[in-house]
Structure formats: C-alpha cells, structure tokens
Structure 1
Amino acid sequence: MTTAKNAARSATESPVFRTIARIGYVVLGVLHIVIGAIAIPVAMGGGGEADQGGAMEAIRDSPAGVVLLWAIVIGLVALAAWQIAEAFLARDADTKKKWGHRVKFAGTAVVYLAIAFTALVYALGGQSDSSQSSQSLSAQLMATTGGLILLVLIGLIVLAIGIAFVVRGFTRAFEKHLDLPAGAVRTGIVTFGVVGYVAKGVAVAVTGVLFVAAALTHDPEKAGGLDGALHALAELPFGPVILWVVAAGLIIYGLFCFARARYARM
C-alpha cells in the first residue's frame, strides 16, 4: 500500500501529468458544449443524439475530428488516473469521510474512463449508441432473477448522482476545489458553476428516473440514457422551454470546465 501511495503521490506531483489532467477538463468541457448544442435542435422538435455518442460523432465529422478524439481519450484517461491517485491519497482524518472520498474519486474515474472508451471507439472508426446500450442492459436485467430490483437500484443510484450535482451547484460546494481569483472573474466562474451543475444534475436525475420507470413498467425501451432523458424533458408540459434551459446549462457547464482546467487545485 505504501508503494502504491508513493507512486500515486509521484504522479500527482508531475508537472506533465498535471498539465495533461487539466487538458482532460478542457475536453470534458468540449463534450458538454457539443451535447448542449445537439440538445437545442431536440428542444425545437428536431433529431440528433444528445449524449456522449452523438457528441463524439459530431466531433469526428469536424475538421481534425479524429485528432481531437484522441486528445479526448488521452485527456480523460489522465484525468481518471488523477482521480485514482487522489483516491489512494485521501487525507481526511475521519475514516468514514476518507472512504467516502475514495468512493467518489473512484466512481468519477470510472465515468471518465467510460467516456474515454467511447471516444476511442469513434477515433477508431466505430460507433456507440448509449440509448440502445441502456435499453439492452435493461432488457437483459429484466430477463434475470432479481434483475428488476437491480435495475431499480441502478436508477436510484443515477438519480442520487443527479441530485448530488444539483445540491453541489446550489451549495457551491465545487468552490473548495478551485483556486479562484477575486472579483468579477470569481463571480462569473461561480455563477457558471452553479448553473452548469444544476443543469447537468437535472439531466442525470431524469436518466435515473427513466431506469426506474423501465423497471416498474417492464419496458426496457423507456431506459434511454442521457439522450432519452433529454427527449423525455422535451415531451413534458413546457418541455421545449425546460430543455432549452438544460441545453444552455450544459453549454455553461462546459465553459465552467474550461475555467476548472485553469483553476482546479492539483
């Protein structure tokens, strides 16, 4: 364990590694801006996949898209490695808080690696459909003993993550992880953070609700991933307006990620 911690500490102290990890926040910002941009036509009644797969496809079709996809892979893998190193180096004296931080860092690393894998698939010429993957997973779980319970549990976990994003936004808990300058710049970045976290939390929370709905109705097609969540928002009363707000919020969260790349404590 000591050797692993020393290795993790050495990695986090490397200027090159820190720079690449900061690039990870930049590419994360690009992804959210693209997803938000794709969600706007959905709000207007158009098509498009407003999720990681749709974003990757849009990026691949852009000039130098494949190069950018590889940058996304490298940046997010470095960011995931940073989170894993932080999990090893959790310094909180309270044991419960320490393990809570470790779980949070490890979970975040898994998410970054999953997005990096999607980028890799598109960089190599493949494609991925998160809605179909979510529906396939739901169908497989429904066909197994206890699968419905597990699907509800997955939905509740995703819902909890979405709520956590909303709470993190309203309480401005993200500020403690940033070294922000004083004045108008700080105010602007914090405002972007609040709006972005809340918007992303709403989208993630709706995704969790769809998993639960799929389990309760025995209909795997209701579990549509992030794209399904955004389309579900569009179908609500005043849905297009809500989706416009969420789409704008995701774009703002992407801009916040750019600031995070500059001011994150590393």
Structure 2
Amino acid sequence: MTSAAESTSRSARQAANNRAVKIGARLGIGAYGVTHVLIAVLALQVAFGNRGERADQAGAFQDLAQQPFGRVLLWVVVIGFVAVVLWRLEQAIWGFAYESDRTKKLRNRVTSAANAVVFAVLAALAATTAAGSGGGGGGGQGPTAGVLGLPGGQLIVGAVGIGIVVVGAVKIVEGGQKKFLEDMSLPASTAQRATVERTGQVGSVAKGITIALIGVLVVVAAVRFRPEEASGLDVALKTLAAQPFGPYLLAVIAIGLAAYGVFCFFDARYHRV
C-alpha cells in the first residue's frame, strides 16, 4: 500500500512538474497580465464616465471574447490558467524543499495553494465566457447574503473583510519592498531590471489597493447588513469613482493595474518555474 501511494504521489508530481506544464504556466502568467491590462482599460472607461462597463475579470474576458478569434484566445487563456493551477499545486505539496526556515516554507506553500485556487476560479470563469455563457453574474452578493443570514453572520463577514484588507496591505508592503524579485531570475541588463522592478512595485501597490478596497466594502456590507455592497472588484472600482476626486484616483489605480499587467509579462519570462 505504501509503495503504491508513493508511486502515485511520484507520478502526480512528475505530471505537475513536466516541461509542458511549465511552458503552460508561463503562458498563464502572461494571460494574467493581459487580464489586468484589459481591466485597466475598462477601469479608465469607468473613470471617464462609462459606468456601464464591467471593470473586473469577467468584464475583461467578455471584452476579449468579442474580438476577432477572441473565443479561441480565451481557450488558450484557460489552458494557461490550468497549467498555473497544476504548477502551484506542485509547489504547495512538494515545493520549496530548499527553504531551511520551516515557517517560511509553510508560508510559501500556503501562498501557492491560494494562488492555485485563484487561477482555478479564473480558469472556470474564462471557460464559461469562452463557451458563451456570459462569464458569470454579479459577484459575491449571493454567498455574502447567505453568510449574513447565519447566526453571527455579520461577525463572520466582517472578519473575512478585515482579512481581505490585510491581504491587500501585505501586497502593498511586499510591492514596496520588491519581495516579488525573490521568485525571479532577472536579466543582467540594468535597464531591464529597473523596468521589472518599477512595474512590479507600482503594479503590486495598485493591486494591493484594489484588494483592500474589496475588503473595505465587505466590512461595510457586514456593518450595514447590506450584502449588495460586497460584490467584488467591479463594485469596488465604481464605488471609488463615485467619490469626490474618485475618477482621478481610479485613473491612477488603472494605470497601476496596467503596470501590473506589464510586470506579469516580465514575470512570465523570468519567474522561476
């Protein structure tokens, strides 16, 4: 039994760690960059008054699907995202053996597992859009409403919102400290290294701000007992746009998200996969 289990584990690891998966993972990271550039474009349209645009991943995939050969490209995106899921799962289960600090190793594995979940959701959303199902509905209102209806639901949702804010804050801090460079093998060119560093810093800070905004809306939804206010990135950006000077702030964040997309292109090339 033990031998069979070890053999199965070894086969699964080899499948998740083969060359095709690694190439696909780089494709998926690049597709993640395209997604953020598209979100940035949609966010700019929202900032300049077109509130009918959906400025989130679903909106980005729908926009891509409307382009020539867009659905074909979306299926390529799905393949890339699935490859990222396999690669991240391999890291979560077997990765970071070189790390002597057990706490840091565990943290890296948990982060990889969380990334696997994120890309699995994105893969499902992109596949749904490519299949012509519209890419989903209105975000997180359904599950939020369900949790709010439970005993202690407001506390649970509030705690989740605070957790999301913390994740956003960590992303901002790590971006400022250039933590993302730890997983990359950068080129020798000083100019290229500087470009990677600056796009990574600006992009990570903007990404962290959007995550924190979503968390704030979740907390507000819990306090006000209004689940419709906790509906993801699209609502977060449109809520920001509705504030005094909000369109200008949203335009700045959109530029940051575009920078994150550009950084993902570099990450697809230089990340240690």
Bin of the TM-score, shorter chain as denominator length: over 0.9
Q: 5+ unaligned residues in a row in structure 2: which ranges?
A: none
**Equivalent of residue 162 in structure 2, options 156, 160, 170:** 156
Is 1:33 matched with 2:40?
no
Identify which range, 153-162 or 201-210, moves more after superposition.
153-162
Q: Which residue of 2 aligns with 1:234?
A: 241
Residue deviations 1:101-142 (CA, integer Å, cap 9, x gap): 221110110001001110011111102446x23112221111
How far apart are residue 167 of structure 1 and its match?
1.1
**Equivalent of residue 140 in structure 1, options 130, 142, 146:** 146
With the length of structure 1 as denominator, give the TM-score of the two structures.
Answer: 0.94
Which residue type is aligned with residue 240 of structure 1?
A: P
CA distance in 2, matches of 1:102, 1:164: 17
How far apart are residue 251 of structure 1 and its match?
0.9
Identity of aligned residues (%): 38
Identify which range, 249-258 or 3-12, moves more after superposition.
3-12
**Equivalent of residue 65 in structure 2, options 60, 83, 94:** 60
Q: Which residue of 1 aligns with 2:228?
A: 221
CA distance in 2, matches of 1:4, 1:94: 28
Which residue type is aligned with residue 199 of structure 1?
A: A
CA distance in 2, matches of 1:156, 1:29: 27
Q: 5+ unaligned residues in a row in structure 1: which ranges?
A: none
How far apart are residue 40 of structure 1 and its match?
0.3
Residue deviations 1:16-47 (CA, integer Å, cap 9, x gap): 22111100011101100100000001111212
How far apart are residue 7 of structure 1 and its match?
3.6
**Equivalent of residue 132 in structure 2, options 116, 125, 137:** 125
**Aligned 1:1-266 pairs, distance under 5 A:** 2-3=6-7, 6-7=10-11, 9-11=13-15, 13-47=17-51, 48-89=53-94, 90-91=96-97, 92-129=99-136, 132-182=138-188, 183-266=190-273
Residue deviations 1:60-81 (CA, integer Å, cap 9, x gap): 1111111111111110110011
Which residue type is aligned with residue 200 of structure 2?
A: G
1:98 and 1:5, CA in 2 relative to 1: closer, same or farther beyond 3 A?
farther
With the length of structure 2 as denominator, give the TM-score of the two structures.
Answer: 0.92
How far apart are residue 94 of structure 1 and its match?
2.9
CA contact (8 A) 1:29 1:255 kept: yes
CA contact (8 A) 2:21 2:86 kept: no
CA distance in 2, matches of 1:257, 1:250: 10
How far apart are residue 158 of structure 1 and its match?
1.6
How many equivalent pairs are there? 265
How far apart are residue 8 of structure 1 and its match?
5.3
**Structure 2 counterpart SS, 1:133:** coil
Q: Alignment RMSD, CA only? A: 1.6
1:96 and 1:248, CA in 2 relative to 1: closer, same or farther beyond 3 A?
same
CA distance in 1, matches of 2:231, 2:49: 17
How far apart are residue 234 of structure 1 and its match?
1.1
